[in-house]
């Protein structure tokens, strides 16, 4: 993510496991579940939890509304 994203880009991570944590630490916002949700809570990383990908769609719509 560091090599691809520019400084002005909004970095969003969607994940559920410890393998997603390094990217989550670099993200502006994380949509998380399971272990990643616990790690984001513990580390104070801005996030929102999800259970299904329908939840993810709703969260993304909310994020877009906030930016508009």
Q: What pLDDT does 67 receive? A: 66
Residue 16, C-beta contacts closer than 8 angstroms, at least 6 positions apart:
32, 33, 34, 35, 36, 37
Q: What pLDDT does 18 receive? A: 95
pLDDT by residue (tens digit) across 30-51? Answer: 999 999 999 999 999 999 999 9
Confidence of residue 2 (pLDDT cuts 50, 70, 90): low
More confident residue, 68 or 27: 27
All structural domains of the chain = 1-54 (3.40.50.1000)
3-state secondary structure 1-68: CCCCCCCCCCCEEEECCHHHHHHHHHCCEEEECHHHHHHHHHHCCCEEECCCHHHHHHHHHHHHHHHC
């Amino acid at each position: 993510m560091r090599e691809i994203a520019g400084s002005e880009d909004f970095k969003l991570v969607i994940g559920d496991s410890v393998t997603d944590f390094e990217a989550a630490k670099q993200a502006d916002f994380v949509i998380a579940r399971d272990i990643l949700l616990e790690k984001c809570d513990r580390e104070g990383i801005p996030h929102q939890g999800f259970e299904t990908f329908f939840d993810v769609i709703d969260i993304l719509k909310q994020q877009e509304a906030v930016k508009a």
